[in-house]
Amino acid sequence: AGLQISNRLNVQSRGLDVAVRNANDGISIAQTAEGAMNETTNILQRMRDLSLQSSNGSNSKSERVAIQEEVTALNDELN
């Protein structure tokens, strides 16, 4: 009886170890996703800022071209 209890506890312990590893893997995945979402948010915010800047009627042609080039580069980063 004592051996059976010991074996059952060992099996439960190994199962808990696997559960802890799985939880840690899940945390890592969530942290990676959070980082990607933060970067996406930063890019979209910059694109918004550039959009507002481009709507200013006082921009020269070269400034509008530079804004468009940056927006294109940011869009490429998103894709």
Write the pLDDT tens digit of every residue in 27-64: 999 999 999 999 999 999 999 999 999 998 899 999 99
Hey, what's the torsion of the CAs at 56, 60, 62, 63, to 10 degrees?
A: -30
Residue 55 phi, psi (nearest 5): -75, -5
Can you give the residue ranges of every domain in the chain? 2-78
Q: Is 58 helix (H, G, I), strand (E, B) or coil?
A: coil
- Using an 8 Å Cβ cutoff, are 64 and 54 in contact? yes
Q: What six digits make up the tokens of 45?
A: 């915010």
Confidence tier at 11 by pLDDT (50, 70, 90)? very high
pTM of the entire predicted model: 0.75
Which CATH superfamily hosts domain 2-78?
Answer: f41 fragment of flagellin, N-terminal domain (1.20.1330.10)
| Signed CA dihedral, 60, 61, 62, 65: sign only | positive
